[in-house]
Amino acid sequence: MPWFIRSKKNITTPTESKKDVKKGLWYKTPSGKIIETEELKANAYVSPEDDHHVQIGSQEYFDILFDEGKFTELDAKVESKDPLNWTDTKPYKDRLKEIKKKTGMMDSIRNATGKIHGRDITISCMDFKFIGGSLGSVMGEKIARAIDYSIKHKTPYIIITQSGGARMMEAAISLMQLAKVEAKLIQLAEHNIPYITILTNPSFGGITASFGSIGDVIMAEPGALIGFAGPRVIKETIGRDLPEGFQTSEFLLEKGFVDMIVHRKKMKDKIKEVADMLMPIN
């Protein structure tokens, strides 16, 4: 059966000479289409095939939102410690070292200031790749400092949420950050500075139950999962099936939990529109 015999003379490239394609050059959309990563980036990391909003980090959001991708990072050197000497399957100190080296980040949130359509804006953006965007002492401190900066420089303040909740390795210390941030947001309101929250996928835990849900305007990305506990836990607790689309941004808009759903490609324009409405420039 000559059809199944591999002849050496038909092999144009020896196996040992073949090179693997570099990772990250291609992206497979949820609908199964393969596109170039550069095409995805040019489309604000939204799949052109199915409009799926790909999960991105703080750097990508800053690049998309700030004019020409230019911004100044604030409080970049604030980093996590191990106040409780937490030891489980792996010591917290060791895990922090590993994740810092892997991500190049100091913690799960970054502060930045820059211009959006010419207007000065201050943004705190969570990053899920750093221990699930979890809330710890550093996140609370950096949000507090960003609020102080907004008050001093009279800039609208934005938090982009992306988190699984509080960081258990800091126990009660992480939960105390909720009260700390709420107190700082009261100061922001006293100075008549607008506070905008942008809920992205996923936004869960105490963050959603507190400062993620009290913005003057609450935006959400299409299809984002938003809630306190996960659907499995809720279903087991109430003993009932959950409605279709439960905890999606579309469902929550219908129930009045969020004010608007904004496509990522239109987010920059909408932020400028809302900021100008809430805090007109004299």
Place of tokens 């969020």: 258
Q: How much is the CA Rg of the chain, to the nearest whole Å?
A: 22
User: Averaged in consecutive runs of 10 residues, what is the pLDDT profile of the chain (282 residues)?
Assistant: 52 48 72 88 92 95 98 95 87 94 96 98 97 95 98 98 93 93 97 98 93 97 93 86 89 96 98 97 78
Would you state the pLDDT for residue 26?
Answer: 87
The per-residue pLDDT for 16 is 47
Q: Which domains does the chain have, with CATH numbers?
A: 23-54 (no CATH), 56-278 (3.90.226.10)
Tokens 């191990």 sit on residue: 82
User: Which pTM was predicted?
Assistant: 0.89
What is d(CA 229, CA 277) in angstroms, rounded to the nearest whole number? 34
Q: What is the pLDDT of residue 162?
A: 97
* Confidence (pLDDT) at 17: 46
Beta carbons of 207 and 135 less than 8 angstroms apart: yes
Q: Which residue has the tokens 């500075």?
A: 193
Q: Which helix (H) or strand (E) holds 61?
A: helix 58-65
- Distance from C-alpha of 142 to C-alpha of 132, rounded to nearest angstrom: 17
- The letter for the amino acid at 75 is D
Q: How many residues does the structure list for the chain?
A: 282
Is the Cβ–Cβ distance between 177 and 139 less than 8 Å? yes
Per-residue pLDDT at 21 = 45
Q: What residues does 163 pair with on adjacent strands?
A: 203
For the chain, report the end-to-end CA distance as a whole number of angstroms.
Answer: 84
Which pLDDT score is estimated for 22? 52
- How far apart, in whole angstroms, are the C-alpha atoms of residue 154 and residue 147? 10
Structure tokens, 63: 């690049």
Contact yes or no for 235/241 (Cβ under 8 A): yes
Q: Quote the distance between the C-alpha of residue 176 and its chain's center.
A: 21
Q: Do 183 and 148 touch, CB atoms closer than 8 A?
A: no
**pLDDT value for 7:** 52
Predicted pLDDT at 10 = 52
Percentage helix, strand, coil, to 5, in the chain? 40, 20, 40
pLDDT tens track for 250-272: 999 999 999 999 999 999 999 99
Q: Would strands 109-116 and 71-74 be described as parallel, antiparallel, or unpaired?
A: antiparallel
